[in-house]
Chains A and B, each alone.
Chain A
Amino acid sequence: MTVHNLYIFDRNGTCLHYSEWNRKKQAGISKEEEFKLMYGMLFSIRSFVSKMSPLDMKDGFLSFQTSRYKLHYYETPTGIRLVMNTDLSVPNCRETLQQIYSTLYVDLIVKNPLCVLGESLQSELFNSKLDSFIRALPFFSVRAA
């Protein structure tokens, strides 16, 4: 069980925050390109899923998994998107992502007058709180990384 990385996007597709913990493979492109690709993929998945769905959805897209990792997705009504990649054994992470949004993002970024919304997050406090939050998760354990 482990957490690989976490992306936070705003509704315009700007990557507000990125951090990684146990990532074994890079995408082979620059970080900016990777953020664009990730956001583009999520954007397409959202429209794909809303067209494919046989019934109207409430929460929409929740997660997908491949043979090696699982991507968890949470979107707030304001369009902030939190994306976390973990390994396959991690169960539904919706609450975790919601908690990151409500306790960390809202408290430390939205309520911080020095943080400009819509730009990549510079807050040191947010970064360290997020890091300790993720490290404290029950399914975060550092394998021989």
Chain B
Amino acid sequence: MAIFSVYVVNKAGGLIYQYDNYVPRAEVEKTFSFPLDLVLKIHDEKVVVSFGQRDGIRVGHAVLSINGVDVNGKFTAEGKEIQEYLRDPANYPVSIRFGRQKLSSNEKLMLASMFHSLFAIGSQLSPEVGSSGIEMLETDMFKLHCFQTLTGIKFIVLADPRQSGIDALLRKIYEIYSDFALKNPFYSLEMPIRCELFDQNLKSALEIAEKAGTFGPGS
């Protein structure tokens, strides 16, 4: 069981804090001989598999490293284009590591504001009177829990579907936000949170929540 990540979204839908607590490794390394039996394409400045799913390499996975050296977007470490490099038979056999591409900070920003609008639509399409927005969204791999404060700030936690105690954790994060971000004289409202104490306390709260502990009296 695990807590994957935490997002804090301000009332305008801007991402003001993000923390990846646990990133599961789902990477496959395989040695290929010429010609490569996967079809690759460039998507968002990354080389991703577009056809030829096999041995745990799935469509949508990105090239992460070639011969043990991490790639840099669509270029190899030496600065050559990956697709060009893989077209040359002289470079084979080659060992390529594939995996889910990690979210860039831009993508995280985009996803946070996307959730902000989904939250609003969720409440508009309600068949019942007085509904809030999305509080919990479930998939087979993770559950997303969202807590919106009265002032409109959203705390979002992504966790394993079996993880319990997320509601208490969300309230605890709100408390940590009030104590260490809001009370910090150098913190300006609605702006990204860069407070050391907030980071530290958030991390320990996540640890406690993962061990299914409680946050003591008053929470």
Contacts and interface: CB of A to CB of B under 8 A. Distances in A.
B interface, over-half SS: loop
A24 B127 CA distance: 6
B24 interface: yes
Nearest to B101: A51
A59 B140 contact: yes
Given A54-B141, A66-B132, A41 B121 contact: yes
Contacts, number: 118
B137 interface: yes
Given A52-B111, A54-B158, A64-B136, A27 B141 contact: no
Contacts of A57: 139-141
A54 B24 contact: yes
B121 A37 contact: yes
B126 A68 contact: yes
B9 to A, nearest CB: 13
A133 to B, nearest CB: 19
Interface residues of A, number: 40
A1 to B, nearest CB: 13
Interface string B42-54: 0000000000000
B55 interface: no
23 contacts: A4-B127, A5-B127, A25-B128, A41-B121, A48-B111, A53-B142, A54-B4, A54-B23, A54-B141, A55-B24, A56-B60, A57-B141, A58-B141, A59-B140, A60-B139, A61-B138, A63-B138, A65-B135, A66-B131, A66-B134, A69-B127, A69-B131, A87-B128
Interface of A: 4-5, 20, 22-25, 27-28, 34, 37-38, 40-41, 44-45, 48-49, 51-69, 71, 85, 87
